[in-house]
């Protein structure tokens, strides 16, 4: 039976191992590394997808000549820049951890990952939502798609939402890993 054994003994007292069937210590069950957690192949894949989508949103938005006409689009460029930089750095750290065979289970490291993922995913979602609102305003309400780059704005906004969809699992896995200690 592979389950955790409760610790009901005083901290300073060493445990006694007996050969009896009742008091044999079972090996502690550790939470398995789920794909998507730091230091797993799924984690590297999520980070790489975040980088691709954030970089795509940044590239598409920055190549339009009039993205600076709305503050929400400037905010999207700033949030996508931060998200792409954060995701690239963590993808490199995750890939390095995989290559050397280390697990990223340190509480301080996971805390930094969790806070960073929470901040960057919130910024990305807010920027994507604001850009979506301005894009709808320009396209539907003002009818200004003829003189603006609505297709590029919509593409950049969609990529920012896709970036957020890949950033949220990273945050949730990191938070779960931190909370289950």
Separation between Cα atoms, residue 133 and residue 127, nearest integer Å? 10
Cβ pair 80, 57 in contact under 8 A: yes
* 44 has pLDDT over 60: yes
For 87-116, write each residue's pLDDT tens digit.
999 999 999 999 998 878 788 988 999 999
Averaged confidence pLDDT in the chain: 83
Average pLDDT (61-76) is 88
Name residue, tokens 């610790």. 7
pTM score? 0.77
**pLDDT of 159 above 70:** yes
How high is the pLDDT of residue 29? Answer: 44
- Of 169, 167, 152, the C-alpha closest to 83 is 167
Residue 174 predicted with pLDDT over 50: yes
How much is the average pLDDT of 23-31?
A: 51
Burial zone of 75 (CB within 10 Å; 0-12 exposed, 13-18 middle, 19+ buried): middle
């Amino acid at each position: 039976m592979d389950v955790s054994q409760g610790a009901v003994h005083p901290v300073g007292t060493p445990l006694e191992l007996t050969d009896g069937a009742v008091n044999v210590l079972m090996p502690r069950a550790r939470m398995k590394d789920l794909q998507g957690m730091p230091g797993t192949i799924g984690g590297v894949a999520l980070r790489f997808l975040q980088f691709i989508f954030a970089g795509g949103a940044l590239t598409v938005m920055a190549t339009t000549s009039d993205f600076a006409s709305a503050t929400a689009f400037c905010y999207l460029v700033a949030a996508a820049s931060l998200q792409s930089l954060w995701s690239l750095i963590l993808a490199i750290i995750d890939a390095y951890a995989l290559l050397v065979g280390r697990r990223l289970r340190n509480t301080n490291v996971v805390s930094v990952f969790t806070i960073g993922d929470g901040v960057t995913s919130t910024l990305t979602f807010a920027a994507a939502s604001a850009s979506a609102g301005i894009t709808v305003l320009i396209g539907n309400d003002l009818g200004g798609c003829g003189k603006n780059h609505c297709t590029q704005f919509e593409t950049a906004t969609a990529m920012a939402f896709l970036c957020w969809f890949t950033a949220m699992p990273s945050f949730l896995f990191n938070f779960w890993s931190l909370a289950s200690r």
